[in-house]
Structure 1
Amino acid sequence: MADMFLEKFRSLVPKYLDDQWNEADGLNGEELRDALAQSKVSIPFVLEEFYLALGNNEDFMEAYHYFFDPEELEIEDGHLLFLEDEEEKFVWAFKASQLDVPDPIVYRRNNAKGTWTSEEGTFSEFTLDMFAWVFDELAAELED
């Protein structure tokens, strides 16, 4: 499958960090394969390209919310968990039945209630919107 999201994710480095993307920002293919072998899960294409673009960049992997490293991915409650907020109140995931969709819809679980809610957007939409919000918040804090 051709790169569908890779360049879009790579473009976030110059957009938000005022730096050029370089190979050290992402995982290489072998690192990703080895990590996924440890977690024993398959992932959607979009998440694979996210890790290849930004999987080593802490500014994105730990930007207010924490993306799970590929070896930490797990299926729980019928969902592949990939992101958690810093207070561990919420976790974001894909339905395990949708992992073959290139860019699946994201769901959020309220950890206290155990309820799942659709974010009504795909991973690429959700992630790009989340980073816009995070980095706009950071910029606003720096201005204060």
Structure 2
Amino acid sequence: MAEMFVDKFRSLVPQYLDDQWVSEDGLSPEELDDALEEAGVEIPLALREFYLTLGGCEDLMEAYYYVWDPEELEYDDGYLLFMEDEDEKYTWGLRVDQLDVPDPIVHRRNNQRGTWKSEEGTFSEYMLDMYSWVFDELEPELDN
């Protein structure tokens, strides 16, 4: 199968970490498959390529929000949960009935209310936009 998102995800390392992407920034297919088997979940192509490309890059996996390690992924409330904020107020997920879509729409749950809201972007779009927000817009505020 052709790699649809790998180049976009790899570009995040030089763009935001001022370093070249290396294979250690990602997980091997075997590592990822073992972790997914442990979690008992299936993931869409975009999330798979994200882990294969950046799953070992702590600086991006824990940049403002925390992308869960693949063995921590879980189904809940009809969603595959993959990320949360530092205070655990919000959790991000992908609808389970859309996991066969290569790049499904991301949804965010308000954990206090238990309500879900579409982020109106696919997984790849959302992650690229999130890193832009964190590194381009939020970084200057953090430096003050």
Q: TM-score range by the shorter chain?
A: over 0.9
1:62-92 CA distance string (max 9 Å, x none): 0010001000100000000000000100000
Separation in 1 of the partners of 2:61 and 2:27?
12
Deviation, structure 1 residue 139: 3.9
Per the alignment, residue 58 of structure 1 pairs with: 58
Separation in 2 of the partners of 1:140 and 1:82?
26
If the length of structure 1 is used for normalisation, what is the TM-score? 0.97
Regions of 4+ moved over 3 Å: none
Q: Quickly say closer, same or farther: Cα 1:58–1:141, change in 2 above 3 A.
A: same
If the length of structure 2 is used for normalisation, what is the TM-score? 0.97
Q: Look up the SS of the partner of 2:102 in the other structure.
A: coil
Q: Look up the SS of the partner of 1:100 in the other structure.
A: coil
Per the alignment, residue 15 of structure 2 pairs with: 15
Separation in 1 of the partners of 2:141 and 2:52?
29
Q: Look up the SS of the partner of 1:108 in the other structure.
A: strand
The percent of aligned pairs where both chains have the same amino acid is: 64
Per the alignment, residue 76 of structure 1 pairs with: 76
Separation in 2 of the partners of 1:56 and 1:110?
28
1:113-142 CA distance string (max 9 Å, x none): 000000010001100000001112124433
Q: Which runs of 5+ in 2 are unaligned?
A: none
Separation in 2 of the partners of 1:82 and 1:88?
12
Q: How many residues align?
A: 143
Separation in 1 of the partners of 2:73 and 2:18?
30
CA RMSD in angstroms, aligned pairs only? 0.8
